[in-house]
Structure 1
Amino acid sequence: MECVYSSGDLQVHFRRAPTDTVAVTFSNWTSVQPRPLWEKHIGTSAMFFVALRNHWYQTPDVDAAIQTVMPLISGFDNRIVMGSSMGGFAAVALAERFGATRSIAISPQISLDPVLAPFEKRWRAELATINEWRHRISSSSIPAHIFFDPKHSMDNAHSTAIATEHQSTILWALPYSGHPAGFALADLNLLEHVIHDAVGAGDDVEECRLFSLVAQEYEKSAHRSATVAINDFRYGQKRALAMAAEDIDALQGHDSTKRQLIGYIDQIKSRLTADEGVPAK
């Protein structure tokens, strides 16, 4: 993989493969070392935009980077732009700049701008560093597939706002998947399907059919996801309280998510025990 652009705010890496499709991915918000998004899951040629800080791709060098990489990808018949959260915003907002076939965004934002997203309460520190909104999501004929959690109030508001502004948006609702919805998809081994289908679909009709199958499979198997269980609990449901330790252990997902779920359950049970006047064990 070759670094084809580098600045203090952004790096772009290019990996060429013998395909007529190129994936362009945008890294997500992170509190650790940023890295190329879904690098191990993409088998086609790929251009990885990596934000070196959480700037929501609002820096001047984004334009310079796009100008630099376009000659490298202009010969590809299909250009698929993808991202998650902050990167999902960029995927939808910048798809036109790449002449994209389609964009795929997991839990994106319409913006952090309070004028466009007064409901957004997260990422205040990042918002304070953005002096100018150079790139915004606007009306486009390029299909934008958005995977999101309709039970998550802010993500639902963002997805609805994007669909209102961008007339070619297709919404894929994944209840209790949380933010970003990719964690629950990964629990169920469906994230790889989304990525594979995104770059492998022959046309928009096939793409919708494939993503519909993913959404149906998620609906059938969501109860097996540790991420779904913990979000179900966070959103006020009490299904997890009835789970035995072996039930939680059998959930699909990261061990840290399971430990967090057990911690929540223990806290609630201790509180209930205290309310009943029985010393917690």
Structure 2
Amino acid sequence: MDDVTPHRDDTLSQEAWRDNLREIGAREGFYEELGEEHTALFLRRGRTLMVTFENLDHIYAREDDRMPWGHGFVQSHGWSMLGLMAHGWTWYRDDAVFDFFDRLRDQGFFDGFDKVVFYGASMGAYAACVFSSAAPGATVIAISPQATLDREIAPWEKRYHRVWRRSFSGRYGYAPDLVRTAESLYLFYDPRSDPDAMHAALFRGDNIRRLRCRFMGHRIASQWMQLGLLKPVVAACVDGDLTAARFYRMMRARRESPKYQKEILNVLKSLQRPQLLIGYCDAVLARRRAPHFRNARRAAREALKQKG
């Protein structure tokens, strides 16, 4: 995960983009710059509030409306939206963000909605978990979340060294403790990804619905987007009717994902089960052209010949 630094000729266009958000916020809710690293945009619609967290540079890189994730999706459902945006890989560890959520909580902002949902993936999922404590009884949708990046608690987490200098103690620090006030936490992760599985194991409580996404790696949300599953999954979580059976039926669509197919292929190779590998390659090749699978099938057939 690398920081994205805007080119010099992007600076003015980014400022124009911010001006546009200021106008939208003033007209439909509010827009705030939280210190130098974070931004918040609130749009009032219906009685359900979706709170999202993402990296601002990801938003700016998009070619469409450059709005926070899910703006069109949230709007289509008639929900209100509070989009938090980070300028870099901050994990939202900033007193300005802490003060912002303290203020919303103390002013009863979240009490003005029938349902409050916090959503995020990876860094955003960590933020969704910790800041949901400002709205007890909320629903939390966390995809591949981190419990903490505190070196004393998670010394095995080596992926995000750029954020190690930030403190993960104090206010809004340890996600597994803070998310206990949520009515429900939908926790999505790949148990085959060791660091993600270790983070997931730190979350305990009767309000947790663990939904395992095997062979999907850390970027589960990206794969769901490619498969057209992200919005249906999120909508089902918001409605409160995403059962394990329904979720795993929806996940059958991943069988058509090239990335997922390659993960299965790599597992079959590691198991040294050529007959199974050949059968799987046959199934994939019946659906699409895939030279990599054709080569793997050829190698497996040669291995069987040598054994025979």
TM over 0.5: yes
Equivalent residue of 1:92, what SS?
helix
Counterpart-to-counterpart distance in 2, 1:21 and 1:45: 6
Residue among 111, 131, 139 paired with 1:102: 139
Is this contact kept in 1: 2:148–2:174, CA < 8 A? yes
Mark the CA change 1:16 to 1:172 in structure 2 (over 3 Å): closer, same or farther. Answer: same
Mark the CA change 1:32 to 1:194 in structure 2 (over 3 Å): closer, same or farther. Answer: closer
Deviation at 1:235, TM superposition (A): 5.2
Paired residue for 2:157? 120
Counterpart-to-counterpart distance in 1, 2:159 and 2:198: 13
Paired residue for 1:256? none
Residue among 217, 227, 231 paired with 1:188: 227
Paired residue for 1:151? 192
What amino acid does structure 1 have at the position aligned with 2:128? A
What amino acid does structure 2 have at the position aligned with 1:88? A
Counterpart-to-counterpart distance in 2, 1:31 and 1:221: 26
Counterpart-to-counterpart distance in 2, 1:155 and 1:58: 20
Equivalent residue of 1:24, what SS?
strand
Counterpart-to-counterpart distance in 1, 2:163 and 2:265: 28
Please list every run of 5 or more consecutive structure 1 residues that lacks an aligned counterpart in the other structure: 202-206, 250-261, 277-281
Counterpart-to-counterpart distance in 1, 2:48 and 2:83: 14
Residue among 45, 50, 56 paired with 1:23: 50
Higher helix share: 2
Equivalent residue of 1:130, what SS?
coil
Deviation at 1:84, TM superposition (A): 0.6
1:230-269 mapped onto 2 (5 Å cutoff): 230-233=262-265, 237=269, 247-248=287-288
Question: What do residues 243-275 of structure 1 show as CA deviations (whole Å, max 9, x unaligned)?
Answer: 7778456xxxxxxxxxxxx79769x86xx7xxx
Q: Does structure 1 residue 216 correspond to structure 2 residue 216?
A: no
What amino acid does structure 1 have at the position aligned with 2:174? R
Paired residue for 2:8? none
| Larger Cα-atom Rg | 2
Equivalent residue of 1:12, what SS?
strand
Equivalent residue of 2:210, what SS?
strand
Deviation at 1:104, TM superposition (A): 0.8
Superposition RMSD on alpha carbons, in Å? 3.3
Mark the CA change 1:195 to 1:180 in structure 2 (over 3 Å): closer, same or farther. Answer: same
Q: Does structure 1 residue 84 correspond to structure 2 residue 121?
A: yes
Equivalent residue of 2:198, what SS?
helix
Q: Does structure 1 residue 48 correspond to structure 2 residue 83?
A: yes
Q: Does structure 1 residue 173 correspond to structure 2 residue 220?
A: no
Equivalent residue of 2:90, what SS?
coil
Paired residue for 1:138? 176
The percent identity for this pair of structures is 20
Mark the CA change 1:244 to 1:23 in structure 2 (over 3 Å): closer, same or farther. Answer: closer
What amino acid does structure 1 have at the position aligned with 2:176? S
Please list every run of 5 or more consecutive structure 2 residues that lacks an aligned counterpart in the other structure: 1-23, 62-66, 270-276, 304-308
Equivalent residue of 1:228, what SS?
helix
State the TM-score, normalized to the length of structure 2: 0.69
Moved more, 143-152 or 63-72: 63-72
State the TM-score, normalized to the length of structure 1: 0.75
Question: What do residues 116-143 of structure 1 show as CA deviations (whole Å, max 9, x unaligned)?
Answer: 223222111222x314534211331422
Is this contact kept in 1: 2:147–2:175, CA < 8 A? yes
Q: Does structure 1 residue 37 correspond to structure 2 residue 75?
A: no
Paired residue for 1:11? 39
Deviation at 1:172, TM superposition (A): 0.4
Counterpart-to-counterpart distance in 2, 1:37 and 1:85: 14
Count of aligned residue pairs for this structure pair: 250
